[in-house]
Amino acid sequence: MAVYFSFTVDGLAKRSLYLDRLEHTVGISQVMRRIEEFRYGVTPRIPRAFPH
């Protein structure tokens, strides 16, 4: 049995913590660098077992 997930792009963009950092990027390498810089600057959540 298939499971489908759906979402709106607007809702996803509102939850993005680094969207403002991507605003003036030109290529994929800039996007990757900005996301990488963001990830080094935050403390990730502790993984939990699924289902929780």
Q: What are phi and psi of 24, to 5 degrees?
A: -110, 25
DSSP 9: H
Average pLDDT of 7-30?
90
Residue bearing the bigger pLDDT, 3 or 33:
33
pTM: 0.63
The predicted structure's pLDDT at residue 24: 94
The answer to whether 38 and 21 are in contact (CB under 8 A) is yes
State the distance between the two ends of the chain, measured CA to CA, in whole angstroms: 21
Closest CA to 16 of 26, 8, 6: 8
- Only one residue has tokens 């996007």, namely 31
Domains of the chain: which residue ranges?
A: 9-40
Task: Calculate the average pLDDT of the chain.
Answer: 89
pLDDT of 14 reads 86
Per cent of the chain over pLDDT 70 is: 98
The answer, yes or no, to whether residue 52 has pLDDT greater than 70, is no
